[in-house]
Amino acid sequence: MKFTRSSGILMHPTSFAGTPGIGTLGKAAYEFVDWLESAHQTLWQILPIGPTGYGDSPYASFSTFAGNPLMIDLDDLAAKGWADKNDIVPADYIKCEGPVEYGSVVWWKMPVLFKCADFFLKNCNKKDRDAYEAFKNDNAAWLDNYANFTSIKQFYDSEAEKKGISGIAQMWNAFWPKDLAKCDAAAVSKWNAEHIENIEQIKVIQFFFATQWFAVKEYANKKGIKLIGDIPIFVAPDSADVWANQNFFQLDQNGIPLKVAGVPPDYFSATGQLWGNPLYDWDAMKKDNYSWWVKRTKRMTELVDIVRIDHFRGFEAYWAIPYGDPTAVNGKWIPGPCIALFDAIKNALGELPIIAEDLGVITDGVRKLRDDAGFPGMKVLQFAFDPNEAGSQGMVNAFLPHMYPQTSVVYTGTHDNDTMQGWLDSATDAAVRIAAEYAFGRKVEESEARKLSDNGELCRALIRTAIASTADMAVIPMQDVLGLGAEARMNIPNTTGSNWAWRIAPNSLKKEDAEFLAFTSDLYGRNIKK
């Protein structure tokens, strides 16, 4: 699909300021949309929005279809009459500023949301009840499985913790009764009948999320702003997706993965990356005409306007690691579904606005699949300034803007990169000099380049360089617009503990930054309203 020349900002809702514990879909979301409009930006990119699990990663969700309850704005619920104001008062340990402390937020907010759901069910008016019933009916294909899974998980997680069992040992395929672990229809139906109230509350919480999400999306769309969402290629092992669709994954009879996902050793990691996601049984999916992927893609196109598919190269071939291996070293490349999957999606849903995340070690086969599917790929400016590729023949790095095909999307960096200022601070003097010469279009000595980096001029110039490029779309992380350093990094791949926690400081949506983006985007012909 052809994309218009445009630009926008990468900013996940959890990073909004001012609300207890974590960013939400409340007032701050609307203020951000207003700021985007003032900055003449027409794209807003987010990370996956599913309910997060272990490690708090949006790329390891309990459901690829559901919304993250932690993003629900409690003040909005109270304003609608869907919650008691006395129930939503934050605990003393919950902060409105600073990084997200996920453990504290989950401990406080999830019980509050169940109270709100109970209040809604007992007090909502007919109009709101009808809207909720319509939501359940329209989303039953995924909502029933998600609610059942969540209800069972809550109970058996609690039972496991009482026995001192945690982590992978308390998952559905390790600790649940066998009939429930196998998603046996009779057993699940019996559970459902015995836990009606709990399951209904789980569904109400998803209704809260959907109501707020689509209100924000409608507000953005009316202002000419499109949302770019994100589909991780793989799903979490501890998810409703795997539990309810075991026949579509490479699992043994007990639900244990036979092999798991990751990437092989490379320049960045001598042992590769062991992600641990169960792998798809593509033969089984093909026999079902890839219906699960069709449903997943359809759901994403309802939630957002443009879809970015993470780790696109895994559709051409995926790295399969024996389950239980401590590293990714012993994996093997196995052919993926290739164009057959995307043909099935296109036949079912028509031409879709999809971006392929084609970073990493990309082969000719991956490039052909991307081009055959008609998807633009990604370019990351931080990868462009390697001194080893700036020889006498000129600069030929494929991540340099003068090398971009028009059908691509340029980023100064992604959620997996350091911020641009953080990268400049840690880069070699030679790399910073090359970046400065490229951005300013003149000879620059290393000492001057470092000064331009230290005072923030180079970071700002590199944003301008990305927006000026030939790529159809340019997306800038909000941290780069603010000139923030490594302290504002969103994620360090293959690590846990402090990722996904960054929140913007209050009052950081500055008029001068909006004016810079508006001028630059207008100057280089982006976001022109026709």
- Catalytic residues, by residue number, are 310, 357, 416
What is d(CA 438, CA 458) in angstroms, rounded to the nearest whole number?
10
Q: At a CB cut-off of 8 Å and minimum separation 6, what does 409 contact?
A: 355, 376, 377, 378, 379, 471, 472, 473, 474, 475
Q: What share of the chain is helix, strand, coil (3-state, %, to 5)?
A: 50, 10, 40
Helices (H), 6-139: 27-38, 74-79, 102-123, 126-138
Burial class (CB within 10 angstroms; exposed 0-12, middle 13-18, buried 19+) of 398: middle
What is d(CA 504, CA 19) in angstroms, rounded to the nearest whole number?
11
Instruction: Output the CA–CA distances (angstroms, integers) from residue 515 to 40, 41, 167, 239, 530, in the order listed.
Output: 9, 11, 48, 43, 21
Contact 449, 435 (CB under 8 A): yes
Instruction: Output the CA–CA distances (angstroms, integers) from residue 415 to 107, 230, 234, 479, 499, in the order listed.
Output: 26, 12, 17, 10, 10
3-state secondary structure 238-259: CCHHHHCCHHHECECCCCCECE
- With H, G, I as helix, E, B as strand and everything else as coil, classify residue 469: coil
Contact 331, 264 (CB under 8 A): yes
What is d(CA 45, CA 65) in angstroms, rounded to the nearest whole number?
18
